[in-house]
Protein backbone atom coordinates (compact mmCIF):
# COMPACT_ATOMS: atom_id res chain seq x y z
CA UNK A 1 0.00 0.00 0.00
CA UNK A 2 1.37 3.40 -0.99
CA UNK A 3 2.11 5.71 1.87
CA UNK A 4 1.53 9.42 1.67
CA UNK A 5 -0.85 12.26 2.46
CA UNK A 6 -4.43 12.07 1.16
CA UNK A 7 -5.90 15.33 -0.15
CA UNK A 8 -9.66 15.22 0.53
CA UNK A 9 -10.46 18.06 -1.87
CA UNK A 10 -8.70 16.63 -4.90
CA UNK A 11 -9.06 12.98 -3.96
CA UNK A 12 -5.37 12.38 -4.70
CA UNK A 13 -2.57 10.81 -2.74
CA UNK A 14 0.67 12.80 -2.60
CA UNK A 15 3.78 10.82 -1.86
CA UNK A 16 5.36 11.66 1.45
CA UNK A 17 8.21 14.10 1.15
CA UNK A 18 7.23 15.36 -2.32
CA UNK A 19 6.55 19.11 -2.37
CA UNK A 20 5.78 19.49 -6.04
CA UNK A 21 8.75 21.84 -6.43
CA UNK A 22 11.77 21.10 -8.51
CA UNK A 23 14.85 20.20 -6.56
CA UNK A 24 17.51 22.87 -6.40
CA UNK A 25 20.45 22.21 -8.66
CA UNK A 26 23.25 20.58 -6.74
CA UNK A 27 26.04 23.06 -6.08
CA UNK A 28 29.54 21.91 -7.03
CA UNK A 29 31.57 20.65 -4.11
CA UNK A 30 35.15 21.61 -3.35
CA UNK A 31 36.19 18.26 -4.83
CA UNK A 32 34.28 19.06 -8.05
CA UNK A 33 36.02 22.43 -8.35
CA UNK A 34 39.41 20.85 -7.74
CA UNK A 35 38.65 18.24 -10.40
CA UNK A 36 37.86 21.04 -12.87
CA UNK A 37 41.03 22.88 -11.88
CA UNK A 38 43.15 19.84 -12.60
CA UNK A 39 41.33 19.32 -15.87
CA UNK A 40 42.34 22.73 -17.16
CA UNK A 41 45.98 22.52 -16.07
CA UNK A 42 48.52 20.87 -18.29
CA UNK A 43 49.45 17.31 -17.49
CA UNK A 44 53.12 18.24 -17.29
CA UNK A 45 52.82 21.51 -15.40
CA UNK A 46 55.22 20.43 -12.68
CA UNK A 47 58.07 20.14 -15.14
CA UNK A 48 58.12 23.68 -16.52
CA UNK A 49 57.58 22.84 -20.19
CA UNK A 50 56.91 25.95 -22.26
CA UNK A 51 54.84 24.31 -24.99
CA UNK A 52 51.61 22.73 -23.80
CA UNK A 53 48.05 22.32 -25.06
CA UNK A 54 45.26 24.54 -23.69
CA UNK A 55 42.31 22.80 -25.35
CA UNK A 56 41.09 21.30 -22.07
CA UNK A 57 40.29 24.67 -20.51
CA UNK A 58 37.65 25.59 -23.08
CA UNK A 59 35.92 22.28 -22.49
CA UNK A 60 35.22 22.89 -18.81
CA UNK A 61 31.48 23.09 -18.36
CA UNK A 62 30.24 26.53 -17.38
CA UNK A 63 33.69 28.11 -17.58
CA UNK A 64 33.59 31.87 -18.05
CA UNK A 65 36.20 32.75 -20.68
CA UNK A 66 36.57 36.56 -20.68
CA UNK A 67 39.83 36.66 -22.66
CA UNK A 68 41.29 35.03 -25.72
CA UNK A 69 44.80 33.63 -25.43
CA UNK A 70 45.97 36.50 -27.63
CA UNK A 71 44.51 39.00 -25.14
CA UNK A 72 46.63 37.61 -22.30
CA UNK A 73 49.80 37.73 -24.37
CA UNK A 74 48.97 41.30 -25.43
CA UNK A 75 48.56 42.34 -21.79
CA UNK A 76 51.94 40.81 -21.00
CA UNK A 77 53.62 42.47 -23.99
CA UNK A 78 52.13 45.94 -23.32
CA UNK A 79 53.08 45.88 -19.64
CA UNK A 80 56.58 44.62 -20.45
CA UNK A 81 57.03 47.38 -23.02
CA UNK A 82 55.87 50.02 -20.52
CA UNK A 83 57.68 48.91 -17.34
CA UNK A 84 60.62 46.98 -18.77
CA UNK A 85 62.02 43.62 -17.63
CA UNK A 86 61.18 42.43 -14.14
CA UNK A 87 64.00 40.12 -13.11
CA UNK A 88 64.79 38.87 -9.61
CA UNK A 89 61.57 40.50 -8.46
CA UNK A 90 60.90 38.29 -5.43
CA UNK A 91 63.43 39.05 -2.66
CA UNK A 92 65.11 36.25 -0.77
CA UNK A 93 68.49 34.62 -0.34
CA UNK A 94 67.83 31.04 -1.37
CA UNK A 95 64.82 28.81 -1.85
CA UNK A 96 63.79 28.46 1.77
CA UNK A 97 63.86 32.21 2.33
CA UNK A 98 61.35 32.47 -0.52
CA UNK A 99 59.21 29.93 1.33
CA UNK A 100 59.46 31.93 4.56
CA UNK A 101 58.70 35.19 2.75
CA UNK A 102 55.62 33.73 1.07
CA UNK A 103 54.18 32.88 4.48
CA UNK A 104 55.18 36.14 6.16
CA UNK A 105 53.80 38.37 3.39
CA UNK A 106 50.23 37.24 4.02
CA UNK A 107 48.12 40.33 4.84
CA UNK A 108 51.05 42.70 5.17
CA UNK A 109 53.44 44.89 3.17
CA UNK A 110 56.82 43.56 2.10
CA UNK A 111 58.61 46.22 4.17
CA UNK A 112 57.31 44.46 7.29
CA UNK A 113 58.34 41.07 5.93
CA UNK A 114 61.84 42.39 5.31
CA UNK A 115 62.15 43.40 8.98
CA UNK A 116 61.06 39.93 10.08
CA UNK A 117 63.46 38.24 7.65
CA UNK A 118 66.35 40.33 8.97
CA UNK A 119 65.48 39.18 12.50
CA UNK A 120 65.43 35.56 11.37
CA UNK A 121 68.77 35.87 9.58
CA UNK A 122 70.34 37.48 12.64
CA UNK A 123 69.06 34.55 14.73
CA UNK A 124 70.30 32.05 12.10
CA UNK A 125 66.73 30.78 11.75
CA UNK A 126 66.30 30.61 7.98
CA UNK A 127 66.57 26.86 7.45
CA UNK A 128 63.97 24.13 8.01
CA UNK A 129 66.07 22.64 10.79
CA UNK A 130 66.45 25.96 12.61
CA UNK A 131 62.78 26.89 12.34
CA UNK A 132 61.65 23.45 13.45
CA UNK A 133 63.87 23.53 16.55
CA UNK A 134 63.41 27.14 17.66
CA UNK A 135 61.02 27.81 20.52
CA UNK A 136 57.70 28.97 19.07
CA UNK A 137 57.47 31.96 21.42
CA UNK A 138 60.92 33.10 20.31
CA UNK A 139 59.89 32.65 16.69
CA UNK A 140 56.82 34.78 17.28
CA UNK A 141 58.96 37.63 18.58
CA UNK A 142 61.33 37.41 15.63
CA UNK A 143 58.53 37.66 13.07
CA UNK A 144 56.36 40.10 15.02
CA UNK A 145 56.99 42.95 12.49
CA UNK A 146 55.15 40.93 9.82
CA UNK A 147 51.93 40.89 11.85
CA UNK A 148 49.69 37.91 12.74
CA UNK A 149 52.87 36.52 14.24
CA UNK A 150 51.26 33.71 16.24
CA UNK A 151 49.46 32.24 13.25
CA UNK A 152 52.47 32.70 10.98
CA UNK A 153 54.85 31.11 13.48
CA UNK A 154 52.63 28.04 13.55
CA UNK A 155 52.54 27.92 9.74
CA UNK A 156 56.31 28.27 9.48
CA UNK A 157 56.74 25.39 11.91
CA UNK A 158 54.41 23.23 9.82
CA UNK A 159 56.20 24.13 6.57
CA UNK A 160 59.57 23.35 8.18
CA UNK A 161 58.32 19.93 9.27
CA UNK A 162 57.13 19.27 5.72
CA UNK A 163 60.64 19.89 4.42
CA UNK A 164 62.27 17.88 7.18
CA UNK A 165 59.94 15.04 6.27
CA UNK A 166 61.79 14.64 3.00
CA UNK A 167 59.88 17.10 0.78
CA UNK A 168 62.85 18.73 -0.96
CA UNK A 169 60.37 19.94 -3.59
CA UNK A 170 56.88 20.04 -2.05
CA UNK A 171 53.74 19.33 -4.00
CA UNK A 172 50.93 21.86 -4.20
CA UNK A 173 48.56 19.47 -2.42
CA UNK A 174 51.04 19.01 0.45
CA UNK A 175 51.35 22.77 0.89
CA UNK A 176 47.59 23.33 0.74
CA UNK A 177 47.14 20.68 3.43
CA UNK A 178 48.91 22.98 5.92
CA UNK A 179 46.49 25.11 7.90
CA UNK A 180 46.75 28.73 6.80
CA UNK A 181 48.48 28.01 3.49
CA UNK A 182 46.12 28.99 0.69
CA UNK A 183 46.46 28.85 -3.07
CA UNK A 184 48.22 32.19 -3.46
CA UNK A 185 50.85 31.30 -0.85
CA UNK A 186 51.34 27.77 -2.17
CA UNK A 187 51.69 28.96 -5.76
CA UNK A 188 54.13 31.71 -4.72
CA UNK A 189 56.30 29.10 -3.03
CA UNK A 190 56.22 26.79 -6.05
CA UNK A 191 56.75 29.52 -8.66
CA UNK A 192 59.38 31.67 -6.99
CA UNK A 193 61.02 29.05 -4.82
CA UNK A 194 61.03 26.07 -7.17
CA UNK A 195 60.51 27.56 -10.64
CA UNK A 196 57.33 25.52 -11.18
CA UNK A 197 54.79 27.09 -13.56
CA UNK A 198 51.89 28.01 -11.29
CA UNK A 199 50.59 31.50 -12.04
CA UNK A 200 50.03 33.48 -8.82
CA UNK A 201 46.67 35.25 -8.58
CA UNK A 202 46.57 38.07 -6.05
CA UNK A 203 44.25 41.01 -5.38
CA UNK A 204 46.06 43.09 -8.00
CA UNK A 205 45.43 40.43 -10.65
CA UNK A 206 41.75 40.27 -9.73
CA UNK A 207 41.51 44.06 -10.00
CA UNK A 208 43.12 44.02 -13.44
CA UNK A 209 40.87 41.23 -14.72
CA UNK A 210 37.75 42.94 -13.38
CA UNK A 211 38.53 46.32 -14.91
CA UNK A 212 39.76 45.10 -18.27
CA UNK A 213 37.11 42.47 -18.97
CA UNK A 214 34.20 43.18 -16.63
CA UNK A 215 34.52 39.60 -15.33
CA UNK A 216 34.64 40.51 -11.67
CA UNK A 217 33.39 37.24 -10.18
CA UNK A 218 35.92 34.77 -11.54
CA UNK A 219 37.44 32.40 -9.00
CA UNK A 220 41.14 32.01 -8.27
CA UNK A 221 41.26 28.81 -10.32
CA UNK A 222 39.47 30.37 -13.29
CA UNK A 223 41.76 33.40 -13.41
CA UNK A 224 44.80 31.19 -13.01
CA UNK A 225 43.67 28.91 -15.83
CA UNK A 226 42.98 31.87 -18.15
CA UNK A 227 46.43 33.38 -17.61
CA UNK A 228 48.33 30.10 -17.74
CA UNK A 229 46.61 29.10 -20.96
CA UNK A 230 47.08 32.51 -22.57
CA UNK A 231 50.77 32.73 -21.74
CA UNK A 232 51.38 29.12 -22.73
CA UNK A 233 49.75 29.61 -26.14
CA UNK A 234 51.37 33.01 -26.65
CA UNK A 235 54.81 31.59 -26.00
CA UNK A 236 54.11 28.64 -28.28
CA UNK A 237 53.06 30.90 -31.16
CA UNK A 238 56.05 33.18 -30.74
CA UNK A 239 58.52 30.31 -30.58
CA UNK A 240 57.08 28.93 -33.82
CA UNK A 241 57.07 32.29 -35.61
CA UNK A 242 59.96 33.21 -37.89
CA UNK A 243 59.44 36.86 -36.96
CA UNK A 244 59.11 36.27 -33.23
CA UNK A 245 57.89 39.22 -31.17
CA UNK A 246 58.97 37.77 -27.85
CA UNK A 247 59.11 40.58 -25.27
CA UNK A 248 62.35 39.16 -23.81
CA UNK A 249 65.84 38.60 -25.14
CA UNK A 250 66.02 34.79 -25.11
CA UNK A 251 63.50 32.36 -26.60
CA UNK A 252 64.85 29.68 -24.27
CA UNK A 253 63.20 31.31 -21.25
CA UNK A 254 60.91 28.91 -19.39
CA UNK A 255 57.20 29.28 -18.90
CA UNK A 256 57.70 29.77 -15.16
CA UNK A 257 59.89 32.81 -15.86
CA UNK A 258 57.09 34.39 -17.89
CA UNK A 259 54.61 33.68 -15.06
CA UNK A 260 56.98 35.39 -12.63
CA UNK A 261 57.46 38.39 -14.85
CA UNK A 262 53.79 38.99 -15.63
CA UNK A 263 52.91 38.69 -11.94
CA UNK A 264 55.62 41.26 -11.14
CA UNK A 265 54.39 43.53 -13.95
CA UNK A 266 50.81 43.39 -12.68
CA UNK A 267 51.93 44.31 -9.16
CA UNK A 268 53.98 47.23 -10.53
CA UNK A 269 51.05 48.38 -12.68
CA UNK A 270 48.56 48.18 -9.81
CA UNK A 271 50.80 50.27 -7.57
CA UNK A 272 51.76 52.85 -10.18
CA UNK A 273 48.68 53.34 -12.38
CA UNK A 274 45.80 50.90 -11.81
CA UNK A 275 45.23 52.12 -8.26
CA UNK A 276 42.35 50.86 -6.16
CA UNK A 277 41.00 54.40 -5.90
CA UNK A 278 41.55 57.16 -8.47
CA UNK A 279 43.36 55.05 -11.09
CA UNK A 280 45.45 56.98 -13.62
CA UNK A 281 43.64 55.68 -16.70
CA UNK A 282 45.02 58.29 -19.11
CA UNK A 283 48.56 57.03 -18.45
CA UNK A 284 47.63 53.37 -18.66
CA UNK A 285 49.45 51.22 -21.25
CA UNK A 286 46.35 48.99 -21.35
CA UNK A 287 43.76 51.72 -21.94
CA UNK A 288 43.11 50.60 -25.51
CA UNK A 289 41.95 47.16 -24.31
CA UNK A 290 40.35 48.10 -20.98
CA UNK A 291 36.60 48.34 -20.33
CA UNK A 292 37.24 50.39 -17.17
CA UNK A 293 34.75 48.27 -15.26
CA UNK A 294 33.84 49.84 -11.91
CA UNK A 295 35.48 53.17 -12.78
CA UNK A 296 33.61 56.42 -13.36
CA UNK A 297 34.71 60.01 -13.82
CA UNK A 298 35.33 60.67 -10.12
CA UNK A 299 36.29 57.42 -8.41
CA UNK A 300 36.65 53.67 -8.60
CA UNK A 301 34.14 51.21 -7.21
CA UNK A 302 36.41 48.19 -7.74
CA UNK A 303 36.59 46.25 -4.48
CA UNK A 304 40.05 44.73 -4.95
**What residues make up the domain containing 169?**
95-194
b/e map 42-74, b = 16+ CB within 10 Å = beebbeeebebebebbeebeebebbbebebbbb
Residue 53 lies in a domain: no
Residue 269 lies in a domain: no
Residue 276 lies in a domain: no
Residue 71 lies in a domain: no
Residue 220 lies in a domain: no
Residue 82 lies in a domain: no
User: pTM of the predicted model, to two decimals?
Assistant: 0.76
Report the pLDDT value the prediction gives residue 300, as an integer from 0 to 100.
Answer: 56
Angle between helices 220-240 and 203-213 (to 10 degrees): 80
CA distances to 28, 37, 170 from 31, rounded to whole Å, are 8, 10, 21
b/e map 7-36, b = 16+ CB within 10 Å = eeeeeeeeeeeeeeeeeeeeeeeeeeeeeb
**Which CATH number does the domain housing residue 123 bear?**
1.10.340.30
> Which of 227, 276, 294, 200 shows the shortest CA–CA distance to 74?
227
Walk along the chain (304 residues) and give the pLDDT tens digit of each residue: 445 554 545 555 555 554 555 555 555 565 555 555 555 454 334 434 333 444 434 433 344 456 777 889 999 999 999 999 887 778 777 889 999 999 999 999 999 999 999 999 999 999 999 999 999 999 999 999 999 999 999 999 999 999 887 767 899 999 999 999 999 999 999 999 999 999 999 999 999 999 998 889 999 999 999 999 999 988 888 777 655 555 554 444 588 999 999 999 999 999 999 999 999 999 999 998 898 888 765 445 556 5
Domain count, the chain: 1
243: CB partners within 8 A, 6+ apart: none
Residue 158 lies in a domain: yes
Amino acid sequence: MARGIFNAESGTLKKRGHTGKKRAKKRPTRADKEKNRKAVRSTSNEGGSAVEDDSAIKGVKGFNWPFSTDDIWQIYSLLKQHYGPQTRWWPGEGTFEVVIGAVLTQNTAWANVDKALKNLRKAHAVTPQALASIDEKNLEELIRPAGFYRQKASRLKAVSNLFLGGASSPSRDALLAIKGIGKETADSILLYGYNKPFFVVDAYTKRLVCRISGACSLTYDEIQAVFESGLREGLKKNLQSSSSSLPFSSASVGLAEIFKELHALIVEHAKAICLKRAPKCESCPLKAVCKKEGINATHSTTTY
